[in-house]
Amino acid sequence: MKNSKWMKMLFLMVSILTISTSIVLADNTNSGDTTSIVNSGDEIKVDNTDTKIENDSGEKESTDNEKEKINTQSGEKSDSEDSKTDIADNNTTSGDKAIESEDTNSSNNKSSSGESTTDKADSTDKSSDSKVKKYKITTTLEKGGKITPENPEVEEGKSQRFEIVPYEKYKITDVIVDGINYGSTSTYTIHDIKENHTIEVKFLKITNEAKQEELQWNNKFVDVKSSDWFYDAVRYVNKHDLFKGVSDIEFAPNSNLTRGMLVTVLFRFSNAIEYAKSTFDDVSPDAYYTEAVSWATKNGIVNGVGDNKFAPDSNITRQDLATIIYRYARFKGKGFAINSPYLLDYIDRDSIAEYAYEAICWCTTTKVMNGKENNMIDPVGLATRAETATIMQRLADALNQ
């Protein structure tokens, strides 16, 4: 009876143990652990290779809980790695945003830089404009007229033209540029300005007596009429004994001028005295121009044409006329202070000989010589007596003579 009771109790304990073991096995199965149960009759042995239980001595070995902790730690590490991956992704995204931000900033910076560069360029241009050298041309004039412009400031390398207008009953007597007197010209241009300059203008009041004396002339030439464009010039040169007629009643205004005639006119114009005869082979000692040629040669106003010849009877070209007139002006202390030819506006300027270019520049600047129709200077055209008479009158004004 007692044995039967113990057997029932044992059976109950085994049943409880079995149920407990089953629960454990179910938990272990879920956790991935491999658990085997060996039922050998009365003994129940749990064979858990991966699981250790606490022994009788109280020493702890690796338990399922520790295994779960390890697995949990492993899982946390995995989560950490996932987190790192997420962080990396975030970093990548952040990096992309950073790159986009940098690109945006770079673009903005470039834009700003571009605007800044433009501003700097504008500033540089303004600065450059403000640093352009300018030179002052001081104008002074006596009572009797006006000059335009007055006291201008001109940029370096530029040119400045001046116009001088006398008041009524006054006339221009002197236009003095940097100490050089250019006579009574009504216009003057300073070219290629690289320093300060001065222009002084003098006027003279015209009295009735002086005007009447100037206008008095007994015209004996039948080929010179008061309506001719050269009338005043012929009156001037004839009255001052610079030109004589080709006869008692003819001036021959349209005839060509010879080289001998020109040096004779300049010789008379200078009021010079010369007793020596010319040494040119083709200048006769008895010719009316022999003293004039000798004087002009000694003073560097004329040169021969080669082979010790002067060619006194050859017609003179306009560029040779300008050259000899300019040499005379230099002889009188006028002309350009230094060699300063400039680009002429005439369409046939390329036809001007090199030796005559500066002379034509001076003659046209001082208005001693003017161009012809169609903006031509006609350098190789032949000079007439009427043209030369006009040039001599203007030369007198330019030299204040």
By CB atoms closer than 10 A (0-12, 13-18, 19+), residue 207 is: exposed
Tell whether 311 and 358 lie within a shared domain.
yes
Average of per-residue pLDDT across 320-327: 96
pLDDT-derived band of residue 284, with 50, 70 and 90 as boundaries?
A: very high
Does residue 319 belong to any structural domain of this protein? yes
By CB atoms closer than 10 A (0-12, 13-18, 19+), residue 15 is: exposed
Does residue 300 belong to any structural domain of this protein? yes
pLDDT-derived band of residue 353, with 50, 70 and 90 as boundaries?
A: very high
Residue 32 to residue 88: CA distance in whole angstroms? 31
In the chain, how many domains are there?
Answer: 3
Radius of gyration of the chain (CA): 59
Tell whether 139 and 204 lie within a shared domain.
yes
Does residue 70 belong to any structural domain of this protein? no
Does residue 100 belong to any structural domain of this protein? no
Last residue of a domain, one of 163, 180, 208: 208
Give 7-21 pLDDT, tens digit per residue.
Answer: 777 777 767 776 665
Q: Which two tokens stand for residue 128?
A: 């450059």
Tell whether 305 and 352 lie within a shared domain.
yes
Query: Has residue 224 got a pLDDT over 90?
Result: yes
Query: Has residue 219 got a pLDDT over 90?
Result: yes
Tell whether 153 and 299 lie within a shared domain.
no
pLDDT-derived band of residue 334, with 50, 70 and 90 as boundaries?
A: confident
Q: Report which of residues 116 and 130 the model is more confident about.
A: 130
Q: Report which of residues 343 and 89 the model is more confident about.
A: 343
pLDDT at residue 295 in the model? 94
Tell whether 282 and 251 lie within a shared domain.
yes
pLDDT at residue 271 in the model? 87
Query: Has residue 195 got a pLDDT over 90?
Result: yes
Average of per-residue pLDDT across 263-267: 96
Query: Has residue 193 got a pLDDT over 70?
Result: yes
Exposure class string for 364-382: b at 16+ Cβ within 10 A, else e: bbbbbbebeeeeebbbebb
Q: Report which of residues 161 and 221 the model is more confident about.
A: 221
pLDDT at residue 272 in the model? 85
Tell whether 41 and 184 lie within a shared domain.
no
pLDDT-derived band of residue 211, with 50, 70 and 90 as boundaries?
A: low
Tell whether 272 and 189 lie within a shared domain.
no
Does residue 101 belong to any structural domain of this protein? no
Give 137-184 pLDDT, tens digit per residue.
Answer: 999 998 899 999 999 999 999 999 898 988 988 888 888 889 887 777
pLDDT at residue 316 in the model? 97
Residues of the chain with pLDDT > 70, as a percent, come to: 66
Residue 355 to residue 352: CA distance in whole angstroms? 8
Query: Has residue 291 got a pLDDT over 70?
Result: yes
DSSP per residue over 209-234, as a string? HHHHHHH------TT--TTSTTHHHH
CATH code, 142: 2.60.40
What is the residue type of 356?
A: A
Does residue 310 belong to any structural domain of this protein? yes
Tell whether 317 and 355 lie within a shared domain.
yes
CA atoms within 13 A on the CB side of 105: 6
Average of per-residue pLDDT across 313-342: 88
pLDDT at residue 229 in the model? 93
Q: Report which of residues 138 and 45 the model is more confident about.
A: 138
Its domain, for residue 394, covers 217-399
Tell whether 203 and 234 lie within a shared domain.
no
Mean pLDDT of the chain: 76
Residues 6+ apart with CB under 8 A from 287: 260, 312
pLDDT at residue 49 in the model? 41
pLDDT-derived band of residue 348, with 50, 70 and 90 as boundaries?
A: very high
Give 363-397 pLDDT, tens digit per residue.
Answer: 998 899 999 989 999 999 999 999 999 999 999 98
pLDDT at residue 251 in the model? 97
What is the residue type of 187?
A: T
Does residue 64 belong to any structural domain of this protein? no
The answer to whether 241 and 268 have CB atoms below 8 angstroms apart is yes
Tell whether 202 and 285 lie within a shared domain.
no
Last residue of a domain, one of 208, 240, 260: 208
Average of per-residue pLDDT across 46-55: 40
* pTM of the complete model beyond 0.75: no
Task: Tell which residue, 365, 366, 367, 391, has the closest CA to residue 269.
Answer: 391
Query: Among the residues of 230-289, which ranges form H helices?
Result: 231-239, 259-269
Does residue 86 belong to any structural domain of this protein? no
Residue 201 to residue 198: CA distance in whole angstroms? 10
- Cα 322–241–293 angle (5° rounding)? 50
Give 239-262 pLDDT, tens digit per residue.
Answer: 999 999 999 999 999 999 999 999
Tell whether 201 and 244 lie within a shared domain.
no
Tell whether 202 and 228 lie within a shared domain.
no
Last residue of a domain, one of 208, 238, 262: 208
Q: Report which of residues 286 and 99 the model is more confident about.
A: 286
Q: Tell me how far apart the terminal alpha carbons of the chain are, to the nearest angstrom.
A: 176
Give 66-104 pLDDT, tens digit per residue.
Answer: 444 434 443 444 444 444 434 344 444 444 444 344 444
Q: Which two tokens stand for residue 360?
A: 């034509």
CA atoms within 13 A on the CB side of 56: 0
Residue 323 to residue 358: CA distance in whole angstroms? 8
Residues 6+ apart with CB under 8 A from 9: none
pLDDT at residue 315 in the model? 97
